[in-house]
Amino acid sequence: MPELPEVETTRAGIAPHLLGQTVKEVVVRQPRLRLPVPLELASELPGQAIVSVERRAKYLLIGTRRATLLLHLGMSGRLRILDDAPTPARHDHLDVTLNNGACLRFTDPRRFGLALWLTDPLAHPWLRDLGPEPLGTDFDGDYLYQQARQRTTPVKSFIMDGHVVVGVGNIYANEALFRSALHPTRPAGTISLAHYRQLATAIQQVLQEAIAQGGTTLRDFQDAQGRPGYFQVALQVYGRTGQPCPHCGQPIRQQRLAQRSSFFCDRCQR
Contact residues for DNA, defined by CB under 7 A: 1-3, 6, 32, 34, 57-59, 72, 74-76, 90-91, 109-112, 125-126, 150-154, 157-158, 162, 169-171, 188-189, 215-221, 229, 256, 258-261
Instruction: Provide the minimum distance between the beta carbon of 107 and DNA in the complex, in angstroms, as a whole number.
Output: 11
Residue 99 CB, shortest distance to DNA, in Å, is: 31
Nearest Cα to 134, choosing from 109, 103, 154, 161? Answer: 161
Question: Whose Cβ is closer to DNA: residue 185's or residue 201's?
Answer: 185
Catalytic one of 11, 55, 58, 240 = 58
The reply to whether 179 belongs to the active site is no
Nearest residue (CB) to DNA, 65 versus 219: 219
| Distance in Å, CB of 261 to DNA, minimum | 3
d(CA 216, CA 239): 12
Residue 262: CB atoms within 10 Å: 22
The residue length of the chain stands at: 270
- Helix-helix angle 193-212:141-148, to 10 degrees: 120
Distance CA 262, CA 270 (A): 14
Residue 260 annotated in active site: yes
CA 194 – CA 251 distance, rounded (Å): 27
Residue 2 is among the residues annotated as catalytic for this protein: yes
Which is closer to DNA, CB of 26 or CB of 171?
171
- d(C-alpha 2, C-alpha 6), whole Å: 5
109 is known as an active-site residue: no
Catalytic residues: 2-3, 58, 260
